[in-house]
A = this chain, B = another copy of it.
Amino acid sequence: MPATPAWPPASTPRLFVDLPLGQGVAPMIDGAAAHYLLNVMRMKAGDPILLFDNISGEWLAVVADAAKRSLTLRIERQTKAIERVPDLWLCFAPVKKARLDWIIEKATELGVSRLQPVITERTIVERVKRERLEAQIIEACEQCGRTALPTLAEPVKLPQLLKDWPAGRSLLFADEAGGAPLASIDTPAPAAILTGPEGGFTARERELLTGHPAVRRIALGPRILRAETASIAAVGIWMAQNGDWSADA
């Protein structure tokens, strides 16, 4: 006897919708998302789709009606509760376009709770296009199965970040001048990782950082890592040691 095909199939599209979902809600999808579902995915009435809203978790819906430029969906059942990702912030100096995109995408996949752009003295890219980064966060969440988007904070200058730093949250500062090997220290959540721009931090910034009570200097090996490599490696190592990677999947 052949096995019953899995429902929904593994290829079911997964979409973030910016409206509260729940039993009885009939979400209407239009705009770019509808274009994608209708013309790229060629969805029609009865086809399944997974939805998440950043509030109530993930829901299985089916297409109730496919019009020319919009779809009406019917929610079948909840498939996941809203998740709690580990409380790790990534504080990063914005770098140039493709490398910034990678930081956003990879940190989201790896599971950070908050993305905090930090303007440092050597930061070259001072303008962060919020809409662009939001779109990348959503796409990464759709792809990796997250039901909660990481918060994208407004850019702040480093001294302000440190001045307002919340009590009890450790700040792991990836210091090119050296520090404790990240694998050797135990920093449970709430925590944050801070990585610098391509040119590194200035002497004045290093002084501010090393004098702050929440800061611990960490080292990421003997080679010179690019800003985005340092960010992603540090987040991965923290997740493996202190995040939610420790339980068997």
Residues of chain A whose beta carbon lies under 8 Å from any beta carbon of chain B:
98, 102, 106, 109-111, 143-146, 177-184, 219-226, 229, 232-234, 236-237, 239-241, 243-249
Contacts and interface: CB of A to CB of B under 8 A. Distances in A.
B183 A145 contact: no
Contacts of A111: 221-223
A183 B183 CA distance: 9
Nearest to A223: B144
21 contacts: A102-B102, A110-B221, A110-B223, A111-B222, A111-B223, A143-B226, A144-B225, A145-B224, A178-B249, A181-B240, A181-B246, A182-B245, A183-B240, A219-B245, A221-B239, A222-B249, A232-B232, A233-B233, A233-B236, A236-B236, A237-B237
A249 B219 contact: yes
Nearest to A246: B181
A177 to B, nearest CB: 8
A221 B233 contact: no
Contacts of A144: 223-226
B226 A245 contact: no
Contacts of A219: 245, 248-249
B181 A109 contact: no
